[in-house]
Structure 1
C-alpha cells in the first residue's frame, strides 16, 4: 500500500502545485485589484464565474485527451494517442475562434445578465472581453496539459503552469499600478496580464509537444496528422458529454452567483472572496482527481482495471487527508485571510463566516473530484453527464432559490444549498465507482475498431 501511495504522490504533488499555482494566481490578483474597491472585486469575481462557464463548454476536449491518452499510454499505443491529440487540437482551434468572437461582440451583454449594478457592467465590460480572448488560448493549453497528464508528465505540466502564472502575477502588478515601466491601466491592465500569460503558455506548450517530446513520441510525424471520422466522432462525442457535464455545473454556479448578486454588491463581493479562498481548498481535490484519471486510465490500457480500482481508492484517501489539513487552516484563520482581500468590514466579516461554514464541508467536493476522475479513467462519461445534470438543476438551483429568496437566509442559505449539492453529488459518484463491474471495463475504442 505504501508503494501505491508513493506512486500516487509522485503524480499528484506536481498536479497539486500546478492547480495551486493557478488558484494562488487568481487569489493574488484578486487581492491586488481589491485595493481598487469592492466594485472591482465583484467584477473580477463575476468574470471568473462567466469564464468558468465559457471554459466548461469546451473543457471536455482536454478531459477527453487526458483519459484517452492515458489509456493509449498504458496500452503501449502512443501512435493512436498522438493521432487523437491532433484531432482534438483541430477542434480546439475552431472553438477558440468562436470564444474570441463572443468576447468581442457580447461581453457587456453577458456581464449585464448577472444582475449586477450599472456601474459593475460599465466598468467591467472591457475586462471581460480581454478574459474571453485569454480563454481562446486557454482551451488549447488545457488540451496540451491533458496530453501531458495522460503520459504521466505531471512535473512538466507543473513547470509550464508555474512559468505562465508567475508571469501573470508580475504583469498584473506592473500593468494595474503602473510599475516596472508599464502604464497604469487599472483593471484593464489585469485583463491584459491574463491574456499575455495564456498566450505565452501556448507557445511553451507547443514547443514541448512538437520539439521536446518529438524524440520520444514522434509528435511531428505526418502519419499522425490523419483525419479519421470514427476517431473524430469518438473524441467529439466524449468531449461533448464531458463538456456538457462541466457546463451543467458551471452554469448552475452562474445562476447561483446571479441569485447572490440580488443581495447587493457587498454580499456579492463577500461571496466571491469566500469562493476564492475555498478554491485553495479545492486544489487537492482537482489534483488527486486528475491523478485518479491518469492511474485508472493507464491500468485500463494495461488490461489491469482492478489495480486501477485499488489505486483510485488510495487516491481518494490521500486526497481527503489533504482536504482535512487545508480545511483546518481555513477554519482557524478565516477572518485574517478574508481581511487580505478587503478592508470593508461588511465584506470581510461575511466572507470569513462563509469560509468557516465551508471549511470541512468541502471534503464532499473532494469525493466528487476523486471518484469522477476515476470514472473518467474508465470512460464512464455518460453517467457523469446524467448525474451532473440531475443534481445541478433538480437540486442545487431550486434549493438555492428557496434558501435565498423564500426562506430569506441570505448568504448563509446560498452556501448551505451549495454544499448540500456537493454532498449529494460526491456520494453519488463514489457509489457509482464502487458499483461498477470492473470485469467489464475495457479500453475505449472508436466504432468499427
Structure 2
C-alpha cells in the first residue's frame, strides 16, 4: 500500500501545485483588483463564471487526451497516443478561432445575459473580450497539459504553470496600477495580463512538445486526419465537454440567481467561491491522478489494479480536503478580509466559507471517482448523471431556496452542496459497481 501511495503522491503533488498556482493567481488577481471597488469584484466574478462555461464546452478535448494517452502509454503504443494528440490540437485550433470571434463581436451581449446591473456591463465589456481571447489560447494549453499528464509528466506540467502564472501576476500588478513604467489600465490591464500569460504558455507548450519531447516520442511529424480516430476523439471530447458544460452552466444560473440579491451579495459569493476553489484544487489534482493511473493500468491489462489505485487516490485526497477545510473554518473571516474591507462583503463571505469548509469533501468524492471513471472511458455515464443532477436538482433547488424560501446567499449554498453531495455519491456508487474485469481500452469503431 505504501508503494502505491508514494506513486500517487509523486503524480498528485505536482498536479496539486499546478492547480494551486492557477488558483493562487486568480486569488491574487482578485485581491489586487478588489481594491478598485466591489463593482470590479463583481465584474471579475461574473466573467470568471462566463469563462468557466466557455472553457467547459471545450475542456473535454483535454480530458480525452489525458485518459486516451494514459491508456496508450500503459499499452506501450505511444505512436497512437501522439496521433490522437495531434487530432486534439486540430480541434483546439478550430475552436480557438470560434472563441476569438465570439469575444470580438459579442462580449457585451454575453455579459448582459448574466442579469447584472448596467454599471457592471459597462465596466466589464472590454475585460470580457480580452478574457475570450485568452481562452482561445487556454484550450490549446489544456490539451497539451492533458498529454503531459497522460504520460505521467506532471512535474513538467507544474513547472510550465508556475512560470506562466508568475508572469500573469506580474503583468496584472503592473498593467492594472501602472507601475514600473507601464500604463495604468485598471481592469483592462488585468484582462491583458491574462491574455499575455495564456499566449506565452502556448508558445512554451509548442516548444516543449515539438522539440523537448520529440527526442523520446517523435512528436515532430505531421499527422493526417484519420476519420475513425477523429470521430472517437470528437465523441469522447463532446461527452466530457457537455458534462463539464452542464455543471458550469448550472453554476452560471446559480450566479444569476445570486446576482438578483444585489452587487454586494454577488461580490461576497465570488469571494467565497474563490476561497473554496482551494478545496476544488486538491479535488481536481487527485481526480486527474486517478485518471492517469486507472488509464495506465487498464492499458497494461490490469484493470483491478486500476480500481485499487482509484480507491487509494480517494483516501489520500479526502485527507487533504479535511485538513484544508479545518484551516478554512478557523481563518474564514481573516481570509475574507483579504479580498474586501467592505463589511457587507467580507462578513457574508466569511459565513459562506465557514458553512462550506467540510462540505467540500463531497466535491472531492465527485472528482476522485469521476477521474477513475474517465480513466476507463465511462464517459457516457458521466454525461448522463451530470445532466440529470444539474437540471433536476441543482437549478430548481437553488431557485426554491433563494426566492421561495427567501434564504438568500445561504440558501444558494445549501443547494450547491446538496447538488455536489448527490452527484459525488452517485459517481462513487458507479465506480464500485462497475465490472472491472469486463472493462476494455477505448478504440476507434467500438
- Cα deviation per residue 1:1-43 (whole Å; 9 max; x = unaligned)? 0000000000000000000000000000000000000000000
Residue matched to 2:422: 424
- Cα deviation per residue 1:219-260 (whole Å; 9 max; x = unaligned)? 0124xx121110000000000000000000000000000000
Cα shift at 1:427: 0.3
For the residues of structure 2 that align with 1:436 and 1:230, how far apart are their CA atoms? Answer: 27
Residue matched to 2:98: 98
Cα shift at 1:443: 1.0
Moved beyond 3 Å, runs of 4+ = none
Residue matched to 1:205: 205
For the residues of structure 1 that align with 2:355 and 2:184, how far apart are their CA atoms? Answer: 38
Residue matched to 1:321: 319
For the residues of structure 1 that align with 2:433 and 2:204, how far apart are their CA atoms? Answer: 41
1:89 paired with 2:56, answer: no
Matching of residues 3-82 of structure 1 within 5 Å = 3-82=3-82
Matching of residues 337-352 of structure 1 within 5 Å = 337-352=335-350
Question: Which residue, 304, 307, 315 being the options, matches 1:306?
Answer: 304
Cα shift at 1:339: 0.2
Question: Which residue, 258, 279, 285 being the options, matches 2:256?
Answer: 258
SS in 1 for 2:225: coil
SS in 1 for 2:283: helix
For the residues of structure 2 that align with 1:164 and 1:361, how far apart are their CA atoms? Answer: 32
Residue matched to 1:367: 365
Residue matched to 2:401: 403
For the residues of structure 1 that align with 2:220 and 2:294, how far apart are their CA atoms? Answer: 28
SS in 2 for 1:263: coil
- Cα deviation per residue 1:78-122 (whole Å; 9 max; x = unaligned)? 000000000110000000000000011111111111111110000
- Cα deviation per residue 1:379-418 (whole Å; 9 max; x = unaligned)? 0000000000010000000000000000000000000000
TM-score by length of 1: 0.99
Cα shift at 1:77: 0.1
For the residues of structure 2 that align with 1:121 and 1:215, how far apart are their CA atoms? Answer: 49
Question: Which residue, 228, 231, 241 being the options, matches 1:230?
Answer: 228
For the residues of structure 2 that align with 1:230 and 1:94, how far apart are their CA atoms? Answer: 19
Cα shift at 1:202: 0.2
For the residues of structure 1 that align with 2:432 and 2:253, how far apart are their CA atoms? Answer: 32
For the residues of structure 2 that align with 1:286 and 1:164, how far apart are their CA atoms? Answer: 20
Cα shift at 1:372: 0.2
SS in 1 for 2:181: coil
SS in 1 for 2:184: coil
Matching of residues 368-387 of structure 1 within 5 Å = 368-387=366-385
For the residues of structure 1 that align with 2:192 and 2:334, how far apart are their CA atoms? Answer: 30
For the residues of structure 1 that align with 2:268 and 2:197, how far apart are their CA atoms? Answer: 27
Cα shift at 1:188: 0.3
For the residues of structure 2 that align with 1:281 and 1:227, how far apart are their CA atoms? Answer: 40
- Cα deviation per residue 1:184-221 (whole Å; 9 max; x = unaligned)? 00000000000000000000001000000001000012
SS in 1 for 2:261: coil
Residue ranges of structure 2 left out of the alignment (5+ in a row): none
Residue matched to 2:130: 130
For the residues of structure 1 that align with 2:396 and 2:37, how far apart are their CA atoms? Answer: 32
For the residues of structure 2 that align with 1:86 and 1:245, how far apart are their CA atoms? Answer: 23
- Cα deviation per residue 1:166-193 (whole Å; 9 max; x = unaligned)? 0000100000000111100000000000
CA RMSD of aligned residues (A): 0.5
Question: Which residue, 275, 278, 301 being the options, matches 2:276?
Answer: 278
SS in 2 for 1:336: helix
TM-score by length of 2: 1.00
Residue matched to 2:242: 244
For the residues of structure 2 that align with 1:20 and 1:238, how far apart are their CA atoms? Answer: 27
SS in 2 for 1:172: helix
Residue matched to 1:174: 174
- Cα deviation per residue 1:315-361 (whole Å; 9 max; x = unaligned)? 00000000000000000000000000000001000000000000000
Cα shift at 1:442: 1.1
For the residues of structure 1 that align with 2:251 and 2:355, how far apart are their CA atoms? Answer: 18
